[in-house]
Amino acid sequence: MTTTASTTGTTMRHTLSTPTDRTIRVERIFDATRDRVWRAYTEPALVAQWWGRGNKLVIEKMEVQRGGHWRFVEHTPDGETHGFEGRFREVTPQDRIARTFEWDGMPGYTILETAEFTDLGDGRTRVVGTSLFFTPEERDGMLHSGMEGGMAQSYAALDKLLAEGRDR
Amino acid sequence: MVQYSSDLDAVFAAVADGTRRGILERLGRREASISELAEQFDMTLTGMKKHVQLLEDAGLVRTQKVGRVRTCSLGTRRLTAEAAWIAKYHQMVEAQLDSLGDFLERTKGDQP
């Protein structure tokens, strides 16, 4: 169990905890109305301005509706590209989004991401994000056989991603 | 089932260093002795031992001493990559929240 929290200015920094082995929960209060936060999460032109954490983000697809497909490609300064994609499982306007998340470098390792938005009534909004990790075996019921080569590739891709993220 | 949360900090610390990521990548191809690793990464034996110890503490690397040679290999490889991915994802989510906070601050007043 790890939990961190701190405060900067008027915006409360994230609180991060791991309530179960493979669940990550983040909570943060933004000094912005729920409508603005909702739009930042659901309008591609706005998502492109923050999701990539300063890296260029190309939103190839973003169908914000149940069953809709999304795919983002992040371009790092050294020319690497990383694709992320999944499907929306639930879209309840202003309230809740649930979607699957997969990184191209770890195919099959699906994360179920949920974001819940609460209007605090004073112009601020609480966002609670929950991420639940599934192994490919859990997702597909696959056997381990034949996974070694694929994992070595995943590892090499992971290493590149980690190398790029080290200064952040 | 593996205890991810208890390992996350150790995994994260282990993979936060470029040399250690290089060691993991190298061991992902083939096992190696500490002296081989030290030579490949142009380090002293003592320095390499410290890196390997950290990786071993995180469960990312396994070592076995046969005679006078300590051989290093990846820990439970499949789970290693998975745990490291969880740690990386964790870091990404944190950075995204910071980024969203900055975005909302700088666009304040842009919208009705």
Dump pLDDT digits (tens) for B16-70.
677 887 898 788 888 999 999 999 999 999 999 999 998 888 788 999 998 989 9
Q: What is the pLDDT of residue B18?
A: 73
pLDDT greater at residue B89 or residue A165: B89
HSE of A3, CA atoms in CB hemisphere, 13 A? 6
Note the maximum CA span of chain A. 55
Determine the distance from the C-alpha atom of residue B3 to the mean position of all C-alpha atoms in its chain, rounded to a whole number.
Answer: 16
Residue with tokens 């250690």: B20
Kind and range of the H or E element at A20? Answer: strand A15-20
Question: Both tokens of residue A82?
Answer: 């990383």
Contact by Cβ (8 Å): A36, A127: no
A134 contacts in chain B (CB < 8 Å): none
pLDDT one-digit tens code per residue, A90-108:
999 999 999 999 999 888 8
Which residue bears the tokens 């939103």?
A59
Q: What is the pLDDT of residue A162?
A: 58
DSSP symbols for B12-80: HHHHTSHHHHHHHHHHHH--EEHHHHHHHTT--HHHHHHHHHHHHHTTSEEEEEETTEEEEEESSHHHH
Give the number of other CB atoms < 10 A from CB of residue A123.
Answer: 12
- Tell if the CB–CB gap between A106 and B81 is shorter than 8 Å: yes
Task: Please choose, from the candidates A107, A110, A108, A51, the residue with its C-alpha nearest in 3D space to the C-alpha of residue A75.
Answer: A51
Q: Output the pLDDT for position A125.
A: 96
Q: Higher model confidence: residue A56 or residue A22?
A: A56
Report d(CA A2, CA A33) in Å as an integer.
Answer: 29
The separation between the first and the last C-alpha atoms of chain A, rounded to the nearest angstrom, is 23
- A14/A2 Cα distance (integer angstroms): 13
φ, ψ for residue B106, nearest 5 deg: -75, -15
Return the residue in A72, A131, A153, A158 with the most chain B beta carbons within 10 A, the one to mutate for interface testing.
A158
CA of residue B28 relative to chain centroid, distance:
12
Q: CA nearest B62: which of B16, B23, B6?
A: B23
- The per-residue pLDDT of chain A, averaged, comes to 79
What integer pLDDT is reported at residue A105 of this predicted model? 86
- Whether the CB of A30 is below 8 Å from some CB of chain B: the reply is yes
B72 and B32 Cβ atoms separated by less than 8 Å: yes
**A144–chain B Cβ distance below 8 A for any pair:** yes
pLDDT tens digits, A33-64 = 999 999 999 999 999 999 999 999 999 999 99
Tell whether A157 lies on the interface with B, counting CB pairs under 8 A.
no
Work out the average pLDDT over A17-33: 77
